[in-house]
Amino acid sequence: MRQEITPAPKTSKGLLAVYRAAVILTLVLVGILITGSLYALVRPSGSAPLFYLGRQDNAQGVQRSGFTDWTDVNIFSGIGRLRIPLAGQPPATVVLSLSFPYPANDTFFAEELATRIGEFRSIAVGYFSALDRDAVASLDENRAKNEILALYNAMLHLGRIEELYFTDLIILD
C-alpha cells in the first residue's frame, strides 16, 4: 500500500515577517520592563523623579496661597449668562454674567469650582430674583458683589474667590 504524503501548508513570507516583528517587539518590551524593575529596586527611596510628563508648575506639588502669589491666573466663567425674572411690577428680567479669577495651578480648586456651577447659579438667581426693577437699576454694584462673594466663599472648601466680576448686567422690560 502506498501512502501519499501531503505537504504542509506554506505560510506567506509577509505573515512570517509580521510574526517575527511581534516576537522581537515583545522581547524588547519585556527587557525594558525587567530593566526598569531592577532599577527601581536599586534606586534609593525618596529620590526625585528622573523626568516629568506634562507641565509641572511646582516640583513639590500645587501651592495654595493668596491672590498676590499667583503666577498664572485663569478666569472662571462657567456660570454662564443668567436670565433672572425680577420681583415686583412691572415684570422685568435681568441678564447677568458672573466671572472671577482663580489660580491656574490649583487643579483641585478648579475641579471644585466646576462641580459647584449649579450652586453658583442658584445663589445669583436667589439674590437677584428677590429684587425689583428699581432696586436693580439703583444697585450698589460693590455691595452686591461682596454679598454674593461671601455666599460663594461660604460653600467653598478648597480655596477662596478674591474678586467677582459682573461682565453683563442688563435689565430687560
- Please indicate, yes or no, whether residues 40 and 85 belong to a single structural domain of this protein: no
pLDDT at 112: 92
- Distance separating alpha carbons of residues 77 and 165, to the nearest angstrom: 10
- Please indicate, yes or no, whether residues 100 and 149 belong to a single structural domain of this protein: yes
Is 58 within a domain?
no
Query: Mean pLDDT across the stretch 18-43?
Result: 92
- Distance separating alpha carbons of residues 59 and 52, to the nearest angstrom: 9
- The 10 Å Cβ neighbour count of residue 171 is 15
- Please indicate, yes or no, whether residues 168 and 96 belong to a single structural domain of this protein: yes
- Please indicate, yes or no, whether residues 121 and 165 belong to a single structural domain of this protein: yes
Q: Are 127 and 144 in contact (CB under 8 A)?
A: yes
Tens-digit pLDDT profile for residues 107-138: 899 999 999 999 999 999 999 999 888 888 88
Structure confidence at residue 55 as a pLDDT band (50, 70, 90): low
Percent of the chain with pLDDT over 70: 84
Tens-digit pLDDT profile for residues 59-94: 444 444 444 455 688 899 999 999 999 888 888 899
Is 31 within a domain?
yes
User: Grid coordinates in use for 106?
Assistant: 490649583
Site of grid cell 456651577: 117
- Please indicate, yes or no, whether residues 77 and 153 belong to a single structural domain of this protein: yes
| 27, pLDDT greater than 60 | yes
Residue 38: φ, ψ to 5°: -65, -40
- Please indicate, yes or no, whether residues 75 and 46 belong to a single structural domain of this protein: no
Is 62 within a domain?
no
- Please indicate, yes or no, whether residues 75 and 160 belong to a single structural domain of this protein: yes
pLDDT at 66: 47
- Please indicate, yes or no, whether residues 158 and 99 belong to a single structural domain of this protein: yes
Is 38 within a domain?
yes
- Please indicate, yes or no, whether residues 78 and 149 belong to a single structural domain of this protein: yes
- Please indicate, yes or no, whether residues 80 and 150 belong to a single structural domain of this protein: yes
Q: Are 102 and 161 in contact (CB under 8 A)?
A: yes
pLDDT at 104: 86
CATH of the domain at 125: 3.30.479.30
- Please indicate, yes or no, whether residues 79 and 49 belong to a single structural domain of this protein: no
Please state the domain count of the chain: 2
Range(s) of the domain holding residue 112: 71-172
Is 59 within a domain?
no
Query: Mean pLDDT across the stretch 146-167?
Result: 92
User: In whole angstroms, how far apart are CA 143 and each of 16, 45, 71, 149?
Assistant: 77, 54, 29, 10
Is 136 within a domain?
yes
Is 16 within a domain?
yes
